[in-house]
Amino acid sequence: MRGSLKTVRRRALERVRAQYEYAAGMSELSLQSVNRVRPPSMQYRSINELVREWLAAAGAVCTFAVNIGVITPQEALQIIRDFQAAHPDMVDE
C-alpha cells in the first residue's frame, strides 16, 4: 500500500508540472490555428489570453491536488517557483 501512495504522489507531481508546461507551450501556437476550430464567440483575442486560460487551469489542477492531499502546499509552491524560474517571461509583474 505504501508504494502505491508514493506512486500516486509522484504521478500527481508530474501531472501538475506538466499542466504548467502545457500552458507555457501555448505561447508557441498560432492564434489563427487555435481559433480556426472555435466558434466566433469563443475565439481568443490574443495568445496572452490563451496562455492565461491555461495557467488558470494549471493552477486549478495544482489546487485540487493539494486539496485532496496528493501533494503538499510546499510541493505546489515549489512547482510554481520552478515554473516561474524556467519561464520568467510568463510571470506577471
The pLDDT score that the predictor gives to residue 65 is 97
Instruction: State the DSSP code for 87.
Output: -
**Is the pTM above the cut of 0.95?**
no
The pLDDT score that the predictor gives to residue 90 is 81
The tens digit of pLDDT for each residue in 54-78 reads 999 999 999 999 999 999 999 999 9
The pLDDT score that the predictor gives to residue 42 is 95
Per-10-residue mean pLDDT for the chain, 93 residues long? 82 97 95 95 95 96 97 97 92 61
The pLDDT score that the predictor gives to residue 20 is 97
User: CA torsion angle for 51, 52, 57, 63 (degrees, to 10)?
Assistant: 130
- CB contact at 8 A, 58 and 79: no
